[in-house]
Chain A
Amino acid sequence: MPKIVGIDLGTTNSLVAVMDAGRPRIIPGPGGERLLPSVVSFADGRITVGHEAKRQLSAHPADVVYSVKRFMGRGLADVQDELKFFPFNLIEEPPGVIRLHAGGRRFTPPEISAMILGELKQWAEKDLGEPVRQAVITVPAYFNDSQRQATKDAGRIAGLDVLRIVNEPTAASLAYGLHQRKEGRIAVYDLGGGTFDISILMIKSGIFEVLATNGDTHLGGDDMDRRLAEWLVEQLGGARWLAETGADGWSVVRVAAESAKCALSDEEETMVVVAQPGARQAERIPLTRAQLESLMMPIVDRTLEPCRRALRDAGVGPDQIDEVVLVGGMTRMPLIRRRVEELFGRRPHTELNPDEVVALGAAVQADILAGGTHNLLLLDVNPLSLGIETLGGVMSVLIPRNTTIPASAKELFTTSVDGQRTVDIHVLQGERELVADNRSLARFQLKEIDPMPAGLPKIEVTFMIDANGILSVSAKELRSNMAQSIEVRPSYGLTDEEVTRMVEDSYLHAREDISRRNLIDARNEAEMVLRATDKALAGAGALLPDEERLAIEAAAARLRDAMPGGDPAGIRERIKQLDEATVNLAGVLLGRTIQDVAEHRAPRS
């Protein structure tokens, strides 16, 4: 049976894991690395993902996309505040769909995420030695419908059938094997690169029942890096320094901030080195853990209110929590561990690597779906209330927050005017009273209603939130018991047709990218061979018969001619010809070196 992998698609890093002989394990990349930086680079006309892309960040800030998770399922207005911190060129087109301009093309966030997923898929296929088609992908528990749908779309574009979207904190609790305790309440505190989640769970004989969840989808390590980067800029000379260095300066400082922040989790003080490209010497700024903590305190404390709200919704006090689990790379920060311990009055679990625990849990959930694990069951909740717009711009709740999913609600609709053929339904998500303060999910239109006097049609609409936390809507006319036709206009994100087109596009571009990469590799190889030949001719050319030297020069010229063209096979062919022409030269060169050694005890440089 083909394996189903578990994927943690993170803001900063992504991982893939699989169940192996009853235990989840992380699948490493080709170099043995376990984390794939969630970075995609379009620099120099080629697409690279992960560490290689991250290395391009300082040199090509405009062509490298990071933290794309922050844009998933969002509109421009949602991310307006942070836009000034991202060097990307963003537009919204059509309304509700963000597009990033990079590498001469426009990409939606799901397309960028699909490149990250595609890379992890390759890792898994190489490791498992078989094609991987199905996956479980994790999302922050507090992700709304559009953000979940965007994640599912990303999977599809990457050629993955996303069997389940699982909440990150819940997945983490599965990995911790806490079901070995007979019974108890646990709190999962999950602070990642861009999002914060808190979930309160009840565990009883293998059933993981989420009691309440809360969070902030725009709070995480990114905010801390940014705060520290702002502070560093102040030390360097503030706005004037930034104006002089431009976008590059900000990128360099941001990268320096990130590594300083990590270093201070283990050390008491560090030296932040800001190596500005083009500057004569690097700037050095000393930073202590205490300084960092006073900068970070306001951000860390923003996580405490969601914790209190989750406890309130779960109907328990902090003293009724039996275990606290920390998830997400940010929870390595001693300040965070301290604050969480203070809130819950107990030392949190940190046995598992906080970067890996979510992916491991996703692999466990994948195994449950595959039928491999029977004794565990995850009962999760919808994080936000779902409702519809009613008269006066008020939201009427159909499915309250923290309802166990799958959850459904039925609502009756009718017409208000004689002969009315359509009825509009505006679906919302959020906790506020007024429509305008909540998130618009979609507008549904009941169409082709039989013309009847007002109030006579009875259309029953069923709102269903599935186990992924994603909404679907169906309707039927009760008098005829016939399905009612519905048109859906999602407020944020892509339509089904657009995703299908992107799936096709991605195959097309994958081929294009491969041949482009092939060409670049061939050119690089040609350059190397030519350089070596020139050097050899300069050193030992005089020892060759003229005829042979001319043949070599001709082969080298033919290779130079082929390089600007677009044919990698042609370039490789001429590399081969040049190699053949230089067989003798290589031998002469070798002989010469030996002679040098004999005469001077050291080769001439």
Chain B
Amino acid sequence: MTQSTKPSAGSGAAAAPRSCWRCGGEAGEAWLCPACGTIQPPPDTVDEFACLGFPRHLQLDATLVAERFHERSRQIHPDFFQTKSDRERVLSLEASSRLNRAYRVLRDPIERIQALIRLETGERETTAKAPSDLVEEVFELQETLERARGHREEGVVREQLRKEQERWQQRLARVDDELRELSARWDRAVDRGDEKAKREVVSALRDRLSGRQYLVNTIEDVTMTLEGRSDAKDRRH
């Protein structure tokens, strides 16, 4: 563990248009100065989409995301700055950590939606919430889980749980379909510049996402009970 009390070099809040800190040339939003090739402080926006050069679209080609990530890594990874100045090394570390984060978010469709909601609404996390149309099913499942944990009528309960597992997985698949459909709607709304449609889609995405989180947790509970693990030892992902 090392300590660094220096404020981050990227915090200078440079307003666009930015100029290169070394040659003074126009650097814009570029990672490397177009004129002298020197690494620049990452722009202040935390937009993961822009970080990899994408518009704020939800339907992204996974291969293209990886290609862009690799291409930019070749430009700014700290390995290539080992022999450069301290400032350049710090900048490459910051740029690289920013890039890695963007990649992590963009390569996964669900993380991508989460990032979009964060960017559009400022909300940091989606809390799991039982979908309102599933209240009865939730009660039923809880009862079965209780019985299974109490080791009563084991064979019958296990069979029931397996069916429940399947049913909830189907529900999850349905929500994922809906999310895909909403993602396509979002992209169209962005392309049209339709602000009202965008707001509607974001709110629908947020609703489905918190329902999805609930489904994921539930399936995890069922799986763990079936496998005989009494409580969540490993953190959920």
Contacts and interface: CB of A to CB of B under 8 A. Distances in A.
A441 B78 CA distance: 24
A493 B4 CA distance: 18
Interface string A366-401: 001111000001110000010000000000010010
Given A371-B83, A464-B93, A470 B2 contact: yes
Interface stretch (B53-61, B98-106, B130-138): B98-106
Interface stretch (A280-288, A478-486, A549-557): A478-486
Interface in A291-308: none
Given A408-B101, A431-B234, 15 more contacts: A145-B1, A149-B2, A205-B70, A370-B82, A377-B73, A432-B233, A433-B235, A467-B77, A467-B78, A471-B1, A473-B4, A476-B8, A484-B5, A486-B5, A496-B2
A405 interface: yes
B142 interface: no
A127 interface: no
Contacts of A482: 7
B108 to A, nearest CB: 9
Given A370-B83, A471-B1, A462 B235 contact: no
A145 B1 CA distance: 7
Given A467-B79, A490-B1, A474 B235 contact: no
Interface string B47-73: 000000000000000000010001001
Contact of A377 (B74, B97, B104): B74
A406 B97 contact: yes
Interface string A453-488: 000000000101111001111111000011111101
A426 interface: no
Given A163-B82, A406-B97, A472 B77 contact: no
A304 to B, nearest CB: 16
Nearest to B82: A369
Q: Which of A204, A371, A406 has the most CB of B within 10 A?
A: A406
A135 B114 CA distance: 41
Interface string A164-177: 10000000000000
B85 interface: no
Interface bracket on B: 20 to 34
Contact of B7 (A369, A397, A464, A483): A483
B196 interface: no
A377 B79 contact: yes
A225 B233 CA distance: 31
B237 interface: yes
Contact of B1 (A163, A205, A408, A472): A472
A314 interface: no
A370 to B, nearest CB: 7
Nearest to A492: B1
A604 to B, nearest CB: 70
A474 B97 contact: no
Given A368-B79, A377-B73, A431-B235, A472 B104 contact: no
Interface of B: 1-8, 11, 66, 70, 73-74, 77-80, 82-83, 93-94, 96-98, 100-101, 103-104, 232-235, 237
A407 B100 contact: yes
Contact of A403 (B73, B80, B100, B235): B100
Contact of B235 (A146, A369, A385, A466): A385
A378 B79 contact: yes
A415 interface: no
Contacts of A397: 235
B8 to A, nearest CB: 6
A488 B82 contact: no
Interface in A11-27: none
23 contacts: A145-B1, A207-B70, A369-B83, A371-B83, A377-B77, A397-B235, A403-B104, A404-B100, A406-B78, A406-B97, A407-B101, A408-B94, A427-B1, A431-B234, A441-B1, A467-B78, A470-B1, A470-B2, A474-B4, A474-B8, A476-B7, A483-B7, A496-B2
Contacts of A483: 5-7
A368 B81 CA distance: 10
A432 B1 contact: no
Contacts of A474: 4-8
Contacts of A585: none
A442 interface: yes
B235 A404 contact: no
A488 B235 contact: no
Nearest to B3: A488
A488 B5 CA distance: 10
Nearest to A385: B235
Contact of B237 (A204, A400, A475): A400
Contact of B11 (A441, A465, A481, A488): A481
B1 A462 contact: no
A486 B100 contact: no
Nearest to A464: B97
A379 B71 CA distance: 12
A576 B52 CA distance: 76
A408 B103 CA distance: 13
Contacts of A204: 66, 70
B40 to A, nearest CB: 17
Interface in A486-504: 486, 488, 490, 493, 496
Interface in A407-459: 407-408, 427, 431-433, 441-442
B79 A369 contact: yes
Interface in A154-187: 163-164
B104 A404 contact: yes
A204 B67 CA distance: 9
Contacts of B234: 431-432
Nearest to A474: B4
A408 B5 CA distance: 15
A444 to B, nearest CB: 8
B77 A466 contact: no
A416 B160 CA distance: 49
B96 A406 contact: yes
A483 B98 CA distance: 21
Contacts of B233: 432
Contacts of B232: 433
B179 to A, nearest CB: 18
Contacts of A207: 70, 73-74
Contacts of B6: 474, 483
Nearest to B98: A408
B73 A379 contact: yes
3 A-B pairs with least C-beta separation: A408-B97, A404-B100, A406-B97
Contacts of A433: 232, 235
B74 A472 contact: no
Contact of B4 (A368, A378, A472, A490): A472
Interface in A195-224: 204-205, 207, 209
A370 B2 CA distance: 24
A485 B5 CA distance: 6
Contacts of B77: 377, 379, 467
Contacts of A205: 70
A163 B80 CA distance: 12
A409 to B, nearest CB: 8
A205 B78 CA distance: 19
A164 B3 CA distance: 17
B112 to A, nearest CB: 15
B100 A405 contact: yes
A490 B2 CA distance: 9
